[in-house]
Each structure stands twice: as C-alpha cells, then as structure tokens.
Amino acid sequence: MTSRSLRASGLAALVVPAALVLAACSGTGGGAPSASPTTGSVGRPVPQDCDELVPATTFTVYGRDFERVRTPRPASGSAVAQIAGQDGRVCTWRSTADEDVTVTVAVAHLPAAQITQLEDALFAQGGSVPTYTVEGYYSLRSGTGRADAFAGPYWIHTSSTLFTEPGTAQPVVDAVRHAVAPDATAPTGSPTP
C-alpha cells in the first residue's frame, strides 16, 4: 500500500473541497493547522506574471485567440479566491470570438503541510490524472473542467468550459508547471507517475 493510499484511507469518509481545506489551514507557528477558517495568508507571492505562466502560444491548441482579463474577479469561496488570498497569482483570459469562453489560472506557493492536505483532499475525491507529470486531478461539473496539479510547493489550478476532459487542460497545466517548477515530478508512491 502506498503512502498516498494510507493517507487516503483515513480521509475516505471525509470528502472536502480543496478550497475549504486551505481555508481551514492557518500557519499557526509550531503547532498543527487550526480547525477553523482563517483569513491569514500562509502562502508566498508567485513571482511569475500571467504571460510567463501561460505564454500566448499555449492557446493555439484551442483554435481561438484569447486576450487577458486585466482585473479577474474570482467567485467568493472558490479555489481561485482561496489562492488569491494566499498571495497567489490569478490570471484569466477571454476568447476574442466569444467572451463567455474563458480560461482561468491560479497558482499558490504554499508550505508543504498545506500542499499535502490539498493533495489528500483531491485524492479522496478521485479524478487522478497520470499524464500531468506531477500529482494532478481533474473534474467536470456543470460544463466547466477543473484541473489541479501540485509541482513542488506550488498548487496549480485552472478551469474552463474548454476543458471537457483531462487532456484538454493539459497544455495550460504543462505551461504553468514549466514556468514555476520545470523539474517537478510526481512523488514516489503517488497515483500520478
């Protein structure tokens, strides 16, 4: 049984959205994370700007032109809002042909304990994606695909209606992973090789 399997067996009965897991984790110094939500930031700023995280050439695979939304507004309580609250980088691009088609990317640089809690929560929910090079997960709800990947200390989150399966999110996940942690791979025993 892998270390991930052992951790997940303790979480099997507790399926918690990743954003709530992060909200429940505060950097309380030497102790364990607190059990109550906090607005305190435990993340470090992500130095790469949006164009470094996802170069414009990444979008050519979708057969559309995109422009960056200069003031993205994440929905309250969403994973994107949680990442923004952790000094993360939030980027949104809109199709020039159809402004209802967007791609959102959010990246947080977090302590190992918070990364592990997020990985465990997403693992318990299922949707592991072995092609993301690092530990990755995908889900599709209400027509919007969501991909999460963990590259070293970085939580990479992206969502779009274009992401109808794990592979359609991969160009964006790969671009961001390459920008923040090009040498990152899935840990031994992880469900993602």
Q: What is the pLDDT of residues 53-106, one digit of tens each?
A: 999 999 999 999 999 999 888 999 999 999 999 999 999 999 999 999 999 999
What's residue 41's pLDDT? 79
Positive or negative torsion for Cα 118, 119, 125, 127: positive
DSSP 8-state class, residue 96 = S
Q: What are the distances in angstroms from CA 21 to CA 28, 40, 184, 191? A: 15, 14, 23, 20
Distance CA 133, CA 155 (A): 14
Distance CA 13, CA 135 (A): 21
Tens of pLDDT, residue by residue over 159-170, are 999 999 999 999
Tens of pLDDT, residue by residue over 133-191, are 999 999 999 999 999 999 999 999 999 999 999 999 999 999 999 999 888 776 655 45
What's residue 168's pLDDT? 97
In this predicted structure, the answer to whether residue 8 has a pLDDT above a threshold of 70 is no
In this predicted structure, the answer to whether residue 24 has a pLDDT above a threshold of 80 is no
Laid out side by side, the sheet with 89-95 consists of 66-69, 89-95, 102-109, 154-160, 144-151, 135-141
Tokens, residue 137: 């997960």
Q: Is 90 within 8 Å of 73 (Cβ atoms)?
A: no
- pTM here is 0.78
